[in-house]
Amino acid sequence: MADKSRPEQLAVFGAPPSFDEPLHVGRPNVPDRARLMARLGDALDRRWLTNDGPCVRELERRVAERLQVEHVVAVANGTLGLALAAAALGLRGEVIVPALTFVGTAHALRWVGLRPVFADVDPQTYTVDPASVEAAITPATSAVFGVHLWGRTCDVERLEAVARTRGLALGFDAAHAFGCRRGGRPVGGFGDVEVFSLHATKIVNAFEGALVTTDDPGLARRLAALRNFGFEGYDRVGGLGINAKMNEASAAMALGGLDELDALVAAGARITACYEKALAGVPGLLRATRGSDDSGNHHYCVVEVDAEQAGLSRDDLLDVLWAENIRARRYFHPGCHRVEPYRSERETTLPVTDALLDRVMQLPAGAAVTTGEVDVVCAVVRTAVAFADTVRPHVRERRAAGSSRYGFPDAR
Ligand code: T4K
């Protein structure tokens, strides 16, 4: 491991970068290849490649068992999963969501003609604040969709109480929360419906894919029809649908991830522990706490940078990391309420969300990262903060001159 203990050893000052190849935050977990190839081979032999095939059915059955939920409907991706969930619930008008989420949460609702209304989040858990949700309810509101951001579960109990008393549907974007539990219960059975993304960057991935979970048989039936052009049987189209089916290759990939889920969580926990140890005591670098009833999947490492205490802003630190080829990300900047089409539609002020969006940064984490790589990331962070007075003017000068590498066009 290259020595990065002095500022002149940092790549931002011209030293060689820590990594020759980019170290990404979303490096996919790749399951056992032999088993994956065997499953793919079986699918090819069967000549049944999509349309509710055996791998999809096995995935749905096994996930239902694991998550202790009655129905699982596999679909092509999380965005379509959210859109179909909203359509199957028969939502109208406004749906309250946090703005601190991937833009896909809001876009999904918009594609089915709904208006996302943004609520603020809790500064400790980063999930939607039930009090802010209540304040955003209008006569046009039909539902609340919480987001279990970075595997931190929403305040499900308070949101359920709000939904019940105000007569609203309740869904969860559980894109980040496969394998997470709240109060001992697996995420998947909360609210009316939950949607897990199986995008390549998620703990279990299907290349692209998603799972919609519910205990409501009617909802599950509508979801199954919606994902397949509205077909309710041969030649029987019961209504509007779309093609949101999961194919067999995707399901085979997801089954491989599911086989390994416990090991992935355990490996991710080792990475989390490594970050916690190596970053403890670095001034201005905060890790949000987690409630004792909330157990995560250890797929994400998110830190908040307090610029005053660290002597560097989050963006300063990102420039230092990117120069090292460490592709940390400022998810989910600038926030859904500050991107089109939502920005032009209504002025939304969300003090906690806005403050977090200036401070948070996602570091490479999860089972696909090694503890050796984490040691390097942390060494760079520690040196940057320890020599903040030297680093800060330098990176800011580079940024002003347009030489920041963060998000540069050929980032891959
Ligand atoms: N709700 C939430 C809360 C979500 O986070 C997402 C998806 C959704 C809903 C929608 O679910 P899906 O419809 O996607 O199933 C990426 C993903 O495309 C997106 O799926 C994901 N969230 C989001 C958090 O990340 P970008 O625009 O940041 O992608 P990109 O290309 O910059 O890649 C992200 C990082 O992963 C990079 O560091 C590169 C790395 N990467 C990516 C891929 C695809 C790899 O190392 N290997 C890969 O194969 O959106």
Domain range annotation of the chain: 7-28+261-328+364-400, 33-259
**CATH for 33-259, options being 3.30.360.10, 1.10.1060.10, 3.40.640.10, 3.40.50.300:** 3.40.640.10
Contact 337, 118 (CB under 8 A): yes
Residue 401 has pLDDT above 90, yes or no: no
Assign 406 a pLDDT band (cuts: 50, 70, 90): confident
Residue 366 CA, ligand 1 centroid: distance in Å: 14
Q: Is the CB of 76 under 6 A from ligand 1?
A: no
Collapsed DSSP state (helix, strand, coil) of residue 12? helix
Assign 292 a pLDDT band (cuts: 50, 70, 90): low
Residue 249 CA, ligand 1 centroid: distance in Å: 19
Assign 119 a pLDDT band (cuts: 50, 70, 90): very high
Per-residue pLDDT, 408: 65
Q: Which atom of ligand 1 is nearest to the CA of 149?
A: 3
Per-residue pLDDT, 271: 96
Contact 164, 137 (CB under 8 A): no
Structure tokens at 260: 């390994």
User: pLDDT tens, 42-91?
Assistant: 999 999 999 999 999 999 999 999 999 999 999 999 999 999 999 999 99
User: pLDDT tens, 220-277?
Assistant: 999 999 999 999 999 999 999 999 999 999 999 999 999 999 999 999 999 999 999 9
More confident residue, 348 or 384: 384
Q: Is the CB of 120 under 6 A from ligand 1?
A: no
User: pLDDT tens, 320-374?
Assistant: 999 999 999 999 999 999 999 999 998 889 999 999 999 999 999 999 999 999 9
Q: Is the CB of 314 under 6 A from ligand 1?
A: no
Average pLDDT over residues 134-157: 97
Q: Which atom of ligand 1 is nearest to the CA of 199?
A: 15
Which residue's entry shows tokens 């946090």?
A: 98
Pairing relation of β-strands 169-173 and 181-182? unpaired
Residue 411 CA, ligand 1 centroid: distance in Å: 14
User: pLDDT tens, 191-234?
Assistant: 999 999 999 999 999 999 999 999 999 999 999 999 999 999 99
Residue 197 CA, ligand 1 centroid: distance in Å: 10
Average pLDDT over residues 121-140: 97
Q: Which atom of ligand 1 is nearest to the CA of 208?
A: 15
Write out the DSSP string of 45-107: HHT--SSS-HHHHHHHHHHHHHHT-SEEEEES-HHHHHHHHHHHTT--SEEEEESSS-HHHHH
How many other C-beta atoms can be found within 10 angstroms of the C-beta atom of residue 409?
5
Residue nearest (by alpha carbon) to ligand 1 atom 46: 27
Residue 387 CA, ligand 1 centroid: distance in Å: 33
Give the span between the Cα atoms of 277 and 47, in whole angstroms.
Answer: 51
Contact 155, 125 (CB under 8 A): yes
Structure tokens at 161: 């109480």
Residue 409 has pLDDT above 80, yes or no: no
- The dihedral built from the CA positions of residue 85, 130, 303 and 178, taken in this order, carries a sign that is negative
Give the span between the Cα atoms of 332 and 316, in whole angstroms.
Answer: 17
Q: Is the CB of 93 under 6 A from ligand 1?
A: no
The CATH number of 7-28+261-328+364-400 is 3.90.1150.10
Q: Is the CB of 299 under 6 A from ligand 1?
A: no
Q: Is the CB of 175 under 6 A from ligand 1?
A: yes
Average pLDDT, the chain: 95
The separation between the first and the last C-alpha atoms of the chain, rounded to the nearest angstrom, is: 23
Residue 164 CA, ligand 1 centroid: distance in Å: 33
Q: Is the CB of 26 under 6 A from ligand 1?
A: yes
Average pLDDT over residues 112-135: 97
